[in-house]
Structure 1
Amino acid sequence: MTDLFPAVHQPVAEAWPTLVPPRSNPVRRAGALAAIRMIAKDLPATLILDNREYGLGGPAMRVHRTAPFLARLGQDAGSGFGEAYLAGDWDAEPGTDLADLLLPFAERFSNEETRHLLPKWAQSLRWLVTRSQPGDLENDRAGARENISRHYDLSNSMFSEFLDPTLTYSSAYFGDRAASDLATASYDELTQAQLDKLDAILDAAGIRAGSRVLDIGCGWASLAIRAAQRGAWVTAITIASQQALLAQRRIADAGVSDRVQVALRDYRDQIGEFDAVLSVEMIEAVGEKYWPVYFDAIERRLAPDGVAVVQAIVMPHARMLATRNTFTWVQKYIFPGGLIPSVKVIKEVTGNHTGLHAQVLRHLGPDYARTLRIWRNRFIDRWPAIAAQGFDDTFRRMWEFYLAYSEAGFRSGYLDDVQLLLTRR
């Protein structure tokens, strides 16, 4: 431990039972250390472990507690690294941004030639430390409501502290500014960028006065409010109960209660006909088994000449296939039951199971990286107010890691965010 880290974090075991260090296993620890050495040989980052440095130099991390750090990595390749951060086993060195540190790892995954962190012989042993998705995260009606509630019903007040005033929890649209220096990313620019994103979706769907609109997974109703302000009639549905309550209050405050109906309803149970169906960053929570059901539900709700616009986080198709059955840190701690699709699989599902044609309108990967940087900076700035709501320091570390991990994914190209137009073939 170094004086630069005078108070190394230690989670409360009763509150975070999954972070109790795993039982000591010398073989697994040795395997994890060997893997670190292999990964670090050509990685432009620095890992300081027992006062030895591994890596080619660059953004640096320091391991405070070697034994539990290696034990976590040796037990679960999908979650161990992130869990070690939550537990306080390691930190980014002072002066190193957490997303900058995670970026070299994400770049390795996004590069087809280097996307495997380990050599082929070591990859063949990954099954020993890779966990499969648990069976209790099924996204049927009951399971989907439980999975969604674990994230979106955390606390409306908590989300309000770091989101912009529109409470839009998806990528903003910065246009030419998206790829500019992230150090200049400012909370002051976020609201307009979110409104620009909402308008881009409404423009693509042709929303105007009198349009009948269905918003699937409406969040806190920013898109529904914006559509109603154009004179549209909107049905906004969600399965997050606390989110629905705040959405209704926001709609009333915006003066569009006569044009927007919020319903606590599963997308599979919606009826009626609409000129446009909108769904922003919801497909990631649907689950692979239900993708055909999701797009079929969209098609069934469309009027004969209606269109749909779906904004989706996506990853390269090969990576989706390689990770579809694994249990990752994000699935375990942030979005249970979810799976990020690829553009290719969206086109395959719509082509094979519906009469819809999917066309990519816009890529928002750099925009999402900027959005996430702003959210993380704001989350850190507002942490005293969030902590006052009863959230502890382990929760803070979890959300800092989640936001930084996601930012690195979009900066590297491992993740992208796309707006798709769905029309009848």
Structure 2
Amino acid sequence: MTSTLSRTADADAAVDPGRWPDVAAVPAARLRGTVAAALLRRIAGRVAIRVVFPGGRVIGDTGPVLVVRRPERFLARLGAHGLIGFGEAYQAGDWDTEDLVGLLTVLAADLPTLVPPRLQWLRRFHGARAPGVDENTRDGARRNIERHYDLSNDLFALFLDPSMTYSAALFETPPSGAPDAAGFDELEAAQHRKIDRLLDRTGVGPGTRLLEIGTGWGELAIRAARRGAHVVTVTLSRQQRALAVERAAAAGVGPRVDVRLCDYRELRGSSERFDAIVSVEMIEAIGAQLWPDYVATLDELLAPGGRAGLQTITMAHERMLATRDTYTWIQKYVFPGGLLPSETALDEALAGHSRLAVLDRCSFGPHYAATLRLWRERFTSHAGRVAELGFDATFQRTWRLYLAYCEAGFATGYLDVCQLILGRTERTA
């Protein structure tokens, strides 16, 4: 094995216990580790993966190879903490692989049934609840956003395209297709295609009063302002706001873009009304308990005859119900406080807490897999520059796993992404 394993010599780097306490600590879980070993043998016998242990022992016959570097640590983490332990074992370098996306794709394709029914009871031992500090109170939401989006604008610039757009792109191939061959030079145009579709479907043009919930680094607001719209865009990220203001000014549309550092909930009760509202991959960050309030806010702030456009990552409704109370590796290390909705859950929130209905849907999950592949390749290729920004080897392994995990989810259809256009129909007016 050469490619990935030779690039990940950082697997042997010491884990900073101050920065990564649960990655540095190995649980004492010999019995659960024994159960995990049995489960691993079962999984390798059912799905197309091979597991290679020190000394050359192999379980499984075909497929991507999971190389176990430190078996006792790996199995103890897996047995004590389930999928969180699996992720922490990768962060610590206890296992590795040449084909991270391929391995995770195989596992994601069979994720709901990997653990047999007779062992489902084990979840009670590693199905921890999210810590209270992650709850999306107004202070909590600000902390959660800072933990991800305020890491460093320079970090995100290393792997995003020049538009600094951090959401699914829409490539020229149809939404039902898989743009596997897309290159990085196509990504900016694909991001603009995604943005323009939302602006077109919500009728954004000269004189439009537009609200954007979730600024990102400002590309959507800039494109809307170039159409002649007057944009109010809100964010909780200080670093994103600073760069969005700078970019809008450089684009010559600064006077038409009002970038506010505030929670979307602060807009409720005001006299402001908007002809259009757009929000791209923001509703996933607020948690299920706030979905009713979120759609009610859209309804309150949308002027008569207006349209709202949402882009959101989704999962199947039954999977959302099964996992909504589970604390996940992604929540712990990447997106604290978040939860992916299902389209059914969003439909129910709209019906129960607003006068809005979905007028148009467009799903394009394979395009997100392609977007993530391009981000992951860029992130990996800039490992040295990521380190220069002060991000250690454990951080880099964390983000490689995060990007690969998400890519696998979209490639298998376990995750999807869609644009929903909302409005008040005659029935809901």
**Matched residues in 2 for 1:401 and 1:273: separation?**
42
Aligned to 1:263: 260
Equivalent residue letter for 2:145:
I
| Alignment pair present for 1:9 and 2:12 | yes
1:64 maps to what in 2? 69
Secondary structure of 1:79's counterpart equals helix
- Opposite residue 34 of structure 1, the aligned amino acid is A
Q: Deviations over 1:92-114 (max 9, x none)?
A: 13xx3x111110111013xxxxx
Match of 2:347 in 1: 347
Paired residue for 2:46? 42
Residue 15 of structure 1 deviates from its aligned partner by: 2.7
* Corresponding residue to 1:210 among 207, 210, 214: 207
Match of 1:61, SS state, is: strand
Q: TM-score when scaled to structure 2?
A: 0.94
Over residues 296-343 of structure 1, what are the superposed CA-to-partner deviations in whole Å (9 max), with x where a residue is unaligned? 111111001111000000000000000001110000000000000000
User: Given the alignment, which residue of 181, 196, 201 partners 1:199?
Assistant: 196
Determine if the alignment matches structure 1 residue 131 to structure 2 residue 128.
yes
The partner residue of 2:102 within 86, 100, 108 is 100
Aligned partner of residue 397 in structure 1, secondary structure: helix
Match of 1:175, SS state, is: coil
Deviates more, 1:18-27 or 1:257-266: 18-27
Q: Which has the larger displacement, 226-235 or 381-390? A: 381-390
Query: For residue 20 of structure 1, what is the amino acid of its counterpart?
Result: A
Matching residue's letter, 2:313: I
CA contact (8 A) 2:179 2:367 kept: no
Residue 297 (structure 2) aligns with: 297
Residue matched to 2:382: 382
Residue of structure 2 equivalent to 1:112: none
Structure 1 residues 124, 18: closer, same or farther in 2, change over 3 A? closer
The offset of 1:75, in angstroms, is 1.1
| Structure 2 residue aligned with 1:281 | 281
Equivalent residue pairs, number: 416
Counterpart Cα distance in 2 of 1:23 and 1:87: 13
Displacement of 1:360 in angstroms is: 4.6
Give distance in 2, aligned partners of 1:420 and 1:278.
10
8 Å CA contact 2:212, 2:233 repeated in 1: yes
| Per-residue deviation, 1:38 | 1.6
Change beyond 3 A, Cα 1:243–1:38: same
Identity fraction in percent: 47
Shift in Å, 1:185: 3.3
Where does 1:16-415 land on structure 2 (aligned, <5 Å)? 16-50=20-54, 51-93=56-98, 96=99, 98-109=100-111, 115-176=112-173, 179-180=177-178, 182=180, 184-270=181-267, 271=270, 272-415=272-415
Whether the 8 Å contact between 2:213 and 2:235 is mirrored in structure 1 is yes
CA distance in 2 between counterparts of 1:423 and 1:25 reads: 53
In structure 1, what is the Cα distance between the partners aligned to 2:74 and 2:394? Answer: 16
1:363 positional shift: 0.7
Q: Which runs of 5+ in 2 are unaligned?
A: none
SS in 1 for 2:12: coil
* SS of alignment partner, residue 124 of structure 1: helix
Distance in structure 2 (CA, Å) of the matches to 1:234 and 1:181: 32
- Structure 1 pair 330–46 and aligned structure 2 pair: CA distance change class (3 A): same
Where 2:46 maps in the other structure, the secondary structure is coil
Q: 1:325 to 1:180 in 2, by over 3 A?
A: closer
Quick one: distance in 2 between partners of 1:302 and 1:357?
Answer: 13
Cα distance, 1:177 vs. partner? 6.8
Q: Where does the alignment leave 5 or more consecutive residues of structure 1 unmatched?
A: 110-114
Q: CA deviation at 1:386?
A: 1.9
CA distance in 1, matches of 2:384, 2:359: 44
| Contact 2:160 2:375 survives alignment (8 Å) | yes
Q: Distance between the aligned counterparts of 2:352 and 2:404, measured in 1?
A: 36
Task: State the shift of 1:364 in Å.
Answer: 1.7
Q: Deviations over 1:142-161 (max 9, x none)?
A: 11001011000000010011
Instruction: Report deviation, 1:359.
Output: 4.1
How far did residue 124 of structure 1 move? 2.8
Q: Aligned to 1:176, what secondary structure does the other structure show?
A: coil
The one-letter amino acid of 1:92's match is T
Q: How far off is 1:52 after superposition?
A: 2.1
What displacement does 1:118 show? 1.8
Deviations 1:208-234 (A, max 9, x none): 111110000111111000100111000
TM-score w.r.t. length of structure 1: 0.94
Shift of 1:384: 1.7
Q: What is the distance in 2 between the residues matched to 1:129 and 1:230? A: 51
Q: Secondary structure at 1:83's aligned position in 2?
A: helix
Could you say what the CA RMSD is over the residues aligned between the two structures, in angstroms?
1.8
Per the TM alignment, residue 138 of structure 1 is displaced from its structure 2 partner at its CA by 1.1
